[in-house]
Structure 1
Amino acid sequence: MSDAAQQLAGSTATGDNKPFAAQLSNVYLSILALFCFKLFVKISLNLLTYFYIVRGNRKEAARISAEFYDYAQQRGSWTDRSPLHDAASQGRLLALRTLIVQGHDVNSVTIDQVTPLHEACLGDHAPCARALVDAGADVNASTVDGATPLWNACAVGSVACTEVLLENGARAQSLPHQPSPIHEATSKGHFGCMEVLLTWGTDVDMDIPHLGTPLYTACVCQELECARKLLREGANVQKGKSLDSPLHAAAEKDCTAMVKLLLDFGADINARDGECRRPVEVAPPSSLTEGFLLLYEAMPRLLSQLCRQCIRTCVGQDRLHLLCHLPLPSRIRSFLQYQ
């Protein structure tokens, strides 16, 4: 009886396996057929797009290309991203150029008004940014938050993208209601971007009510090299945020190196902030900065420093870049330029 039961069970299993194998085979064939069909449709759409490009009908080519990329490209639609956005953010230059040739709008926007140029600059993809600009992308486009491509470039420290944008008409200085590229570059310590902005005419003392000046931002964020560059370019060492001076910000952050730098450029150690406090009074108690400020108060100023500041004041901020051309010994020129 046990042998008969085993034979019966075996025959049943064999009978069940055959139909299952056949069904599995049919599933694989169906998947393969579906894949081949979708591939055929996409190839056909691509060929049709190329045909319309050759015939000069770029509008129809763009429409078909949008279907090829599974994207309904309509400006102002709620679709978040276009193929151009993806290609720009990933730095795929060849794909980006292909899409541009196919007629895709280089100024297409997402729901947040982000353009492909914003994405290219945020990803530090200068070749993609240049390709978009050459195709007519708006270099001063702003998102719903007011961010421009230049602000994005400065946020990630992309000197190459910053130069591309400025060379093609981007505003070096933001509008009052927009985020400031130079403040963003300074706060992140992106010295190269800040230097390019200053070269293209950004006001070194640009004051934003909730941020203060770039120098004040550098002191708050403890970016010593950025502060040094700003001061050498003629930034007002006394101008900060409202009544708070850059020296107050540096003292409060207990950044002794920054405090020393500001004092070398003539910062007023007796300046009062909004609460009528001097820098030494906002420094952390028993800190190195507090001790340095107390010692500095007790010591007289060097005559060489006073003379240097007097000469720089007489020259004026707009002409400080001419100091290197004065017929003076190189050591004196370097001294006047804080080098």
Structure 2
Amino acid sequence: MDLTAARQTFYGDIGFWADRTPVHEAASLGRVLQLRQLLDSGASVNTVTVDNITPLHDACIQGHPQCVRMLLDAGAQVDVRNIHGSTPLCHACAAGSVECVGLLLDHGASVNPSLTALTASPLHEACIRGNPECVKLMISKGALLEAFDIYFGTPLHASCAKAHLDCALLLLNAGAKVNAIKFHETALHHAAKVGRPDLIELLVEFGGDVNVTDNLGRKPIDYTTPGCPSHICLQHYESTPLSLQQLSRIVLRTVLGTRAPQVVTKLDLSQRIINYLCYKR
């Protein structure tokens, strides 16, 4: 079904501007009966505003699963992008509506839509807003853990920048790279900036490097205030070598914390620990 533009109205000096249609309003407000009446009377399900917002975008932004289902059943385009490049799935993840996310995925929504300079992936959106159930669902459907957003970096960067511990834990358990770089910044830099020692501890437990420097030559500790909990935490990790037990745990998580199960022998584990120690030097 083709997209159609909404009616245009002239507003003097600002020129023409596309109106939001009654279908947009019903979808945004969750008015299921009104939406049904409009669609039954022949209203277009894929009408777009000037910023390319469809009724499906509006329903997802507000997290109205009944409206989402109705629009999809009526032929709404599931992967249509707005002017910023966001799909309805991006908005559903941002809204934290697991039901809307599930409906979109069931209707073929792309889990990993191509990224533009202005848009983040659906997984990024769930991490930015701190919606762990959506994060869990997206990971289970194959969302790319290392998808790169030009502003936030990886989803793990986004989770830490917004101080969402639960989302960061889900990503790390799924195999996200704890020392991934965004302009030479790691997730630990973000955890330090937001002042969350619990997040710092989590990242270090998964192998986060407290000594890595960003493009300004600063380590995570350099973004903390001396004497604050985060500073004390990082100071401890900088001065205290990890135990063999912790190193073994990091290596095991690195090996087993991915989607593809692997058989690890004691010899292989020992070699990986040695390699890790050499890398840390």
What is the TM-score of this pair, normalised by structure 1?
0.69
Using the alignment, how far apart are the partners of 2:33 and 2:220 within structure 1? 55
Q: Look up the match of 2:168.
A: 227
Which of residues 98, 113, 123 is equivalent to 1:174? 113
**More helix, by proportion:** 1
Could you list the per-position Cα deviations for residues 145-167 of structure 1 after superposition, in whole angstroms to 9, with x for gaps in the alignment?
22221111122211111111111
Where relative contact order (Cα < 8 A, 6+ residues apart) is larger, the structure is 2
Q: Look up the match of 1:77.
A: 7
Q: Is the 8 A contact 1:209 1:242 kept in 2?
A: no
Q: Look up the match of 1:210.
A: 151
Q: Is the 8 A contact 2:156 2:168 kept in 1?
A: yes
Q: Look up the match of 1:117.
A: 56
Using the alignment, how far apart are the partners of 2:55 and 2:194 within structure 1? 39
Using the alignment, how far apart are the partners of 2:256 and 2:62 within structure 1? 41
Q: Does 1:140 align with 2:79?
A: yes
Residue type matched to 1:234 in 2?
G
Using the alignment, how far apart are the partners of 1:240 and 1:136 within structure 2? 41
Runs of 5+ unmatched residues, structure 2: 9-17, 265-281
Q: Is the 8 A contact 1:254 1:289 kept in 2?
A: yes
Using the alignment, how far apart are the partners of 2:150 and 2:34 within structure 1? 43
Q: Is the 8 A contact 2:92 2:101 kept in 1?
A: yes
Per-residue deviation, 1:316: 6.3
Tell me the percent identity: 38
Per-residue deviation, 1:180: 2.2
Q: Is the 8 A contact 2:123 2:138 kept in 1?
A: yes
Residue type matched to 2:5 in 1?
R
Relative distance call for 1:101 and 1:247 in structure 2 (3 A) is same
Which of residues 17, 22, 38 is equivalent to 1:99? 38
Q: Is the 8 A contact 1:109 1:115 kept in 2?
A: yes
Using the alignment, how far apart are the partners of 1:238 and 1:263 within structure 2? 10
Runs of 5+ unmatched residues, structure 1: 1-73, 327-339
Q: Does 1:108 align with 2:28?
A: no
Find the residue that maps to 1:121 and give its secondary structure: helix
Number of residue pairs the alignment of both structures matches: 250
Could you list the per-position Cα deviations for residues 227-285 of structure 1 after superposition, in whole angstroms to 9, with x for gaps in the alignment?
11111111100014221011111112221111001011111121111112222222222
Residue type matched to 2:180 in 1?
K
Using the alignment, how far apart are the partners of 1:316 and 1:236 within structure 2? 10
Q: Is the 8 A contact 2:78 2:104 kept in 1?
A: yes
Q: Is the 8 A contact 1:121 1:161 kept in 2?
A: yes
Q: Is the 8 A contact 1:106 1:116 kept in 2?
A: yes
Which of residues 273, 276, 286 is equivalent to 2:227? 286
Residue type matched to 1:75 in 2?
A
Per-residue deviation, 1:319: 1.9
Q: Is the 8 A contact 2:173 2:257 kept in 1?
A: no
Per-residue deviation, 1:318: 3.0
Using the alignment, how far apart are the partners of 2:132 and 2:181 within structure 1? 19
Moved more, 144-153 or 164-173: 144-153
